[in-house]
A and B are shown apart, each in its own frame.
Chain A
Amino acid sequence: MIAGVFGTANAQLIDEKDVTVTMDLQPVLQLDMTTANQLEFVFDDINEYYAGITNYAATILKVSSTVSWDLYAVGRSSGSTADGFWDQQIDYGSDNTNAINQLPLSLLELRQSQPNSGAGVATGISDYSAAFSPSQSPNAGNSLFTNPDGSITAPTADDKYIGGHAGTSGVAGDDFMPGGSYMNQSGSTSDYYYAIDYRILPGLPAIFPNAHSADGVTAQDIVTTSTDAGNYAEPGVYTMYVQYVLLEDQ
């Protein structure tokens, strides 16, 4: 009888049903870019050689990523003139021996609207956020990162990134930008939205005094790279392109 009583005590009626939720978080790394297909810098006035030409906010970069990321820009060309130099499309006929057609890719200057907040480990110039320097004061702060061989290889800790930086420390603020999107940012600035200004400053003679290696240490103006004090840019039409690379920090 006692056993029967205890049996009753454990006989609460129960029923159950299970719902299993499987969540597939696929990595998203998305760079939305608004820009003209081609930016033209036409130097047909002496003032433009002296003061340069600036295209403000010619490119808008918008990042959406679910993973930690780095963003950098690299100057490239087809290498038809030489690796690391603009491609000369047309020669305007100057046969002066001092007029050379090797224009370094780094003569293009960039300025980003928002400082790089993920570059704590940078050992050189960390980004392109500095204001363009006065034309009389050559400065390496904004010259475009390029590789000597014209490749897409990522910058080192000495070089410039737009967001994040070289390395995988895993420490926020040191070398990566955390996942997020420009779409749900508030305020007037965002680490996921960059307006990029471009400037080319030839100077007179046209040696492009602001061209520097990405770490800012080595001048790459025409006189320095050609090692001839009398050299200048040959008149003509030149092309190059800027490649923006968004990659997972890993």
Chain B
Amino acid sequence: MVKKLVSLMFVLCCNCITAQIHCGSVSIVPNSSVNQIVVFDDTTKYIGGITINSVTKLRVKVEDKTIVDPLCSWNLKMFIENNSGAGTPIDEWEEITNYGNGAGRNPTIDLLQVRVRNSCSTSPADNTFRNFNDANDILDIISDMLPITNAGSCTLNVNGPGSYLTNYDEFNFDIDIRLRPGARFNPGIYNLNIRFRLEENI
């Protein structure tokens, strides 16, 4: 009986240690939604593509608790959503409307390219256009499970507490998008949602 009780306490303690809140708050400022409309209406745009720099800025603010926990760190990821619950194939954009008969193929998710950059190049993928292959893909900006790199170092993978207010070049991320459809897809209007998620590491 005593042995079982000790085991239970051990499990509870493990949970407690693993799931402890290390940070006081994490926030993206502002976290309001952005809707960017991109119109392709001539051949040059179809072939050359359209790039929109700084379609949004992710301003990160991660604060320590009142009693500072040295394990406070964070990660930042990108998810893609195409309303697959409504029947959109996993690798395609959500169709809003088709122009014409739509006999060809709807645009695929990999058509959207996303680039993240900041002045300190804190993300390993800094200044590189990447794409999602399907709605299950997750792209890291700052990965989880990394050793803590404190703010102010202006180096790779800064993930300690800090704020865009005090360390702008490390805690601000400019998000660029590029679309280059070519002449492969059905004309129409399509939607895709990029979700940026900031989490404290546990």
Contacts and interface: CB of A to CB of B under 8 A. Distances in A.
Please classify how large the interface on chain B is, using the bins under 10, 10 to 19, 20 to 34, 35 or more: 35 or more
A206 B100 CA distance: 48
A178 B58 CA distance: 40
B96 interface: yes
Contacts of A2: 12
Interface residues of A, number: 40
Interface in A31-51: none
A21 interface: yes
A12 B112 CA distance: 30
B110 to A, nearest CB: 13
Contact of A12 (B27, B39, B199): B199
Given A25-B107, A25-B190, A179-B184, A5 B15 contact: yes
Given A13-B200, A16-B197, A23-B38, A28 B46 contact: yes
A173 to B, nearest CB: 15
Contacts of B84: none
A97 interface: no
Given A25-B181, A68-B104, A13 B199 contact: yes
A227 interface: no
Contacts of A26: 39-41, 99, 187
Contacts of A180: 182-183
Interface string A5-35: 1101111111111111111111110100000
A5 B183 CA distance: 57
Contact of A6 (B15, B27, B40): B15
A66 interface: yes
B189 A23 contact: yes
Interface string A51-70: 00000000000001111100
A178 B183 CA distance: 8
Given A12-B200, A67-B104, A18 B195 contact: yes
A19 B34 contact: yes
Contacts, number: 171
Contacts of A68: 103-104
Contacts of A248: 100
Given A15-B28, A183-B47, A27 B99 contact: yes
B149 interface: no
A248 to B, nearest CB: 7
Nearest to B32: A17
B128 interface: no
B187 A67 contact: yes
Interface string B28-66: 101111111111111100110000000110100000000
Given A22-B38, A66-B43, 10 more contacts: A21-B192, A22-B37, A23-B40, A28-B41, A28-B43, A66-B46, A66-B185, A170-B103, A180-B182, A248-B100
30 contacts: A5-B15, A5-B16, A6-B15, A11-B21, A14-B26, A15-B26, A15-B197, A17-B32, A17-B58, A17-B196, A19-B55, A19-B194, A20-B35, A20-B192, A21-B192, A21-B194, A22-B189, A22-B191, A23-B107, A23-B190, A25-B190, A26-B39, A26-B187, A28-B42, A66-B43, A66-B187, A68-B104, A179-B184, A184-B47, A250-B101
Interface of B: 12, 15-16, 18-21, 23, 25-28, 30-43, 46-47, 55-56, 58, 93, 96, 99-101, 103-104, 107, 112, 175, 177, 179, 181-200, 202
